[in-house]
Structure 1
Amino acid sequence: MQNYSLIESCLFLPAFINKKKVNKHFTGKSVLITGASSGIGEQVAYLLAECDCHLILVARRGDRLSQIKEEVAAKAAKVSVFQADLRNVSEIDTFLAFLHKLPGGIDIVINNAGHSIRRSIFESLDRPHDFSRTMAINYFAPVRILLSIIPLLRERQGQIINISTINALLAPVPYFAAYQSSKSAFDVWLRAVSPELISKGIATTSIYLPLVRTAMIQPTAAYKNMPAMSTEHAAKIICKSIYKRKKKYQPWWIVFGQIASIFSRNFADFSKKGEKK
């Protein structure tokens, strides 16, 4: 795990997991993890590798999936991998056919695959794909997958875990229109259907993570020196939330972040009006 700075240690409080509870909860279960070839998804797979469970890993990079499977092979978990670009409808359909043929059904779905982009709206005027691509992976893909496998989850009294972002809880942020709107779309969708799912025995959990040190944030230079959570830390939070069947996880300081985001947005708007005068 990465060494935290003092401010990171204050922002990201330790996540302690009970290994006995982890083993008890996950033993005998099938766990689907999207975006499993790197970052958070990869670390969740490694954390659960010690459990006698079935890990179903899907991502675009088949070589990385095969490598993870090989590394986990000597441990307790059984691993199935499937290479697919979940932005592609035909590849999703092929993946869903694969899921429905697996013995034992599905108990837990961890929706982790995602795509972020930081770009001014003026740089996207001739790039509508900036929005179609983020919506494809952050919204349409998880909706399409869940519509197909909710019956499987209902049979097993399963659980859906959405790896969201604190951006979905904050005021809209300039340059992140594509990312923030697409992540918020699925967050709202899951919260909207949650009461119906719960009534049928399917639990839902929304994980609102802060900035996490993954490959996805590397292209954004502004993130280089910003406080960021480690992927191992995020994986512990996710697994703990699953075995405790928590409805939601969010950082302790999120309410202050929400106030700050609203204030900064209003201040920026006020300043722009002042400049025009």
Structure 2
Amino acid sequence: MAYFVTGATGFIGRHLVQELVDHREGEIFVLCRAGSLGRLELLRRRWGSDRVVPVPGDLAEEGLGVDPTWVAEHDGAIEHFFHLAALYDMTADDATNEVMNVGGTRGAVDLAGRLHAGTFHQVSSVAAAGEHRGRFDESMFDEGQSLPSPYHRTKFESERIVREECPALGLPWRVYRPSIVVGHSQTGAMDKVDGPYYFFPLLKALRDRLPSWLPLVGVDLGDTNVVPVDYVAKAMDHLAHLPDRDGEAFHLVNPEPQSTVETLNLFCRAAGAPQLATPASRIPVPARLRPSSLIGALVRNGLVQGALDQTVGRLGIPAEVLAHTGFTAVFDSTRTEQALAGSGIAVPDLESCARTLWGYWEEHLDTSTGRDARIRGALAGKHVVITGASSGIGQVTALKVAQAGGIPVLVARGKEKLEETRATIELRGGTAHVYPCDLSDLEAIDRLCEQLNADLPSVDFVVNNAGRSIRRSLRLSTDRFHDFERTMQLNYFGAIRLVMGLMPSMQRQQRGHVVNVSSIGVQTNPPRFSAYVASKAALDAWSNVVASEVVGNGITFTSIHMPLVRTPMIAPTKLYDKFPTISPAQAADTVVEAMVGRPHEINTLLGNVGAVAHTVAPKLAFRLLNLAYHVFPDSAAAQGQVPEAGTRESEQVMLARVFRGVHW
């Protein structure tokens, strides 16, 4: 059995190919333009299979531009022809949509016919339903619905081509209509802005400027329908291989309509942004008089579109998207649900994966760093050595540095994860270098420094991010002195050994900046963190002394007293799951600001208050900390016990919210 896939390097296509690699046998031929062969090779490594074979071609050419000799050689060999290549963009013009969606589908049908393929699988969209009002089931297609945009029209026309031209060629067909497709439910992986993602820059701006508890007045934007890409890919793979289902369409949708505002509020909660309240949404109103319908009609006015482009458009929300925030149709997926019964494939609950989806966008798709002229001016072409770059703050910092035109130098123990980060950067057109190193091994650091000094034309920035955190009270540490030694070895000795090894290069070039990711604990001295806080305080003290010695050489230091960040380092402490934290992307933004602005310190308000309290009223400060010491118990791991449900959880959460960002 062999497969042919168009759009394999696209969003849904990548996940479908992975499903075929993991669960099916036979070669997988993928259409690929000559200019995308490099990108495809990187994807082949991720798919982990040499069964994926590129076929040169182009969606805009007749017969997809595939060599007739190749077609003749594979005549009758392709069992399943998946056509995913298309333009999924509400903002694209009519001509572009026509070429890519209508012309591309006609070329794909023609190629599949000449290959005498077994079944033609068309990935359509619920957009083919246009503005049909009411129930739209999987047997329905041409119901006289209005098609308000080039995207709606061309998705309808491309599906019509499949329904009319495939039978004329004796080619069995199946159609799949996904609703709005968001990232992977487990990883959040997404590669384009669509659906709710258009509103994410606005949510980020609200989070950064307003407190999360502030309610915002919204309007009823109707119902939407959102599904994660892993569901779409798994469902397509399963449905494509079921017997006796040719000539059917399948709705890959959430079985229940989702309120647009409630969907946005899920992401508001994930982002820590204020939420929207729509008190009037419960009042019965005729469909055509609902705010979503009125907004849609208003937005289609040319003058209104121009005004919106100069306002919300600058936040990344096109006027065309505002015109289609909700669906007028309710998509019946009964046929699909019956066909998937017993497979274990179902639409994941959006609430359970909203934070993952938001986090991926914030770390990978938020382009604000690259669009900031000030940041690009400071980082473009600069080599930035980042420790702990395989995950968390370090990894996201590397992605942001690359986005701004910098060259991240990735340092951590795990080479495989570093290579994954480099591949991500290269897929986006950037450059990165990988240097695996155990930063708790001082001799390994010396070898790393020799290699960096030899390989790099300059060392412009050093970000000391790698660290070890231990949460254990002193009474449980009396026979664990090695905890203090290991923490100091990585957080202090490893960090200063690296800087000392790179210092000669920075002195020769008469410039360089060192960013130390320290902790708010250095200012607030929370109990149970004596090993961790002491190591960070030592790094602060060392940097403060050395800074005065090298300032004449153009070398500067910044210490970031970072609040609690949602990273793998804090994952073992389950207590933190309900605590307010900042995201790795927010922390990475702070690191970028440290490189660009080069301040001596970056602190939080609460951290500064803690530092002042320890100076002005030390006895009171210690009493408050002792209270927290008794409210927050040692972790089960620290006590060598199985975790138990806490009896003082409400007190813990209250203190955590009052003293936001402190490590308890």
Fold shared by both chains (TM-score > 0.5): yes
2:601 is the counterpart of 1:245: no
| Equivalent residue letter for 1:6 | S
Contact residue 513 and residue 555 of structure 2 kept, 8 A: yes
- How much has 1:57 moved relative to structure 2? 0.7
Q: Deviations over 1:117-175 (max 9, x none)?
A: 001223222222101110001100111111111121123311111111111112x3321
2:514 is the counterpart of 1:160: yes
CA RMSD of aligned residues (A): 2.5
Secondary structure at the aligned position of 1:86 is classed as: coil
Contact residue 527 and residue 626 of structure 2 kept, 8 A: no
Contact residue 160 and residue 205 of structure 1 kept, 8 A: yes
> Which residue of structure 2 aligns with residue 274 of structure 1?
none
> Which residue of structure 2 aligns with residue 213 of structure 1?
566
Q: 1:80 to 1:268 in 2, by over 3 A?
A: closer
1:195-206 equivalences in 2 (<5 Å): 195-206=548-559
2:378 is the counterpart of 1:25: yes
Contact residue 446 and residue 501 of structure 2 kept, 8 A: no
Distance, in Å, in 1 between the alignment partners of 2:561 and 2:430 is 27
Q: 1:96 to 1:225 in 2, by over 3 A?
A: same
Matching residue within 416, 422, 428 for 1:63:
416
2:212 is the counterpart of 1:6: yes
Distance, in Å, in 1 between the alignment partners of 2:551 and 2:527 is 35
Q: Deviations over 1:17-61 (max 9, x none)?
A: 661111111112111000100000000011112233321110111
> Which residue of structure 2 aligns with residue 83 of structure 1?
436
Contact residue 440 and residue 489 of structure 2 kept, 8 A: yes
Q: 1:246 to 1:119 in 2, by over 3 A?
A: same
2:494 is the counterpart of 1:141: yes
Q: 1:102 to 1:117 in 2, by over 3 A?
A: same
2:484 is the counterpart of 1:131: yes
TM-score by length of 1: 0.87
- Where do 4+ consecutive residues of structure 1 move more than 3 Å? 1-5, 7-10, 257-262, 266-270
Contact residue 159 and residue 203 of structure 1 kept, 8 A: yes
Contact residue 108 and residue 153 of structure 1 kept, 8 A: no
- How much has 1:224 moved relative to structure 2? 1.9
Q: 1:264 to 1:221 in 2, by over 3 A?
A: farther
Q: Deviations over 1:192-213 (max 9, x none)?
A: 1111121211121111111011
Distance, in Å, in 2 between the alignment partners of 1:269 and 1:219 is 23
The aligned length equals 265
Which moves more between the two structures, 118-127 or 176-185? 118-127
Distance, in Å, in 1 between the alignment partners of 2:532 and 2:592 is 25
- Bigger relative CO (Cα 8 Å, ≥ 6 apart): 1
| Equivalent residue letter for 1:62 | K
Contact residue 241 and residue 249 of structure 1 kept, 8 A: yes
> Which residue of structure 1 aligns with residue 622 of structure 2?
265
> Which residue of structure 2 aligns with residue 111 of structure 1?
464
Distance, in Å, in 1 between the alignment partners of 2:626 and 2:479 is 26
Matching residue within 447, 450, 453 for 1:97:
450
Percent identity of paired positions between Structure 1 and Structure 2: 33
> Which residue of structure 2 aligns with residue 225 of structure 1?
578
Contact residue 210 and residue 228 of structure 1 kept, 8 A: yes
Contact residue 55 and residue 77 of structure 1 kept, 8 A: no
- How much has 1:258 moved relative to structure 2? 3.5
Secondary structure at the aligned position of 2:526 is classed as: coil
Distance, in Å, in 1 between the alignment partners of 2:507 and 2:625 is 47
Unaligned runs of 5+ residues in structure 2 are 1-199, 214-271, 275-367, 628-664
Distance, in Å, in 2 between the alignment partners of 1:100 and 1:191 is 24
Contact residue 389 and residue 395 of structure 2 kept, 8 A: yes
Secondary structure at the aligned position of 2:432 is classed as: strand
- How much has 1:229 moved relative to structure 2? 0.6
- How much has 1:264 moved relative to structure 2? 4.1
Distance, in Å, in 2 between the alignment partners of 1:195 and 1:71 is 39
- How much has 1:190 moved relative to structure 2? 0.4
Secondary structure at the aligned position of 1:174 is classed as: coil
Contact residue 392 and residue 568 of structure 2 kept, 8 A: yes
Unaligned runs of 5+ residues in structure 1 are 11-15, 271-277
Distance, in Å, in 2 between the alignment partners of 1:52 and 1:113 is 23
Distance, in Å, in 1 between the alignment partners of 2:434 and 2:527 is 37
Q: 1:174 to 1:102 in 2, by over 3 A?
A: same
Secondary structure at the aligned position of 1:117 is classed as: coil
Distance, in Å, in 1 between the alignment partners of 2:413 and 2:422 is 15
Distance, in Å, in 1 between the alignment partners of 2:473 and 2:593 is 37
Distance, in Å, in 1 between the alignment partners of 2:553 and 2:478 is 44
Distance, in Å, in 1 between the alignment partners of 2:507 and 2:550 is 8
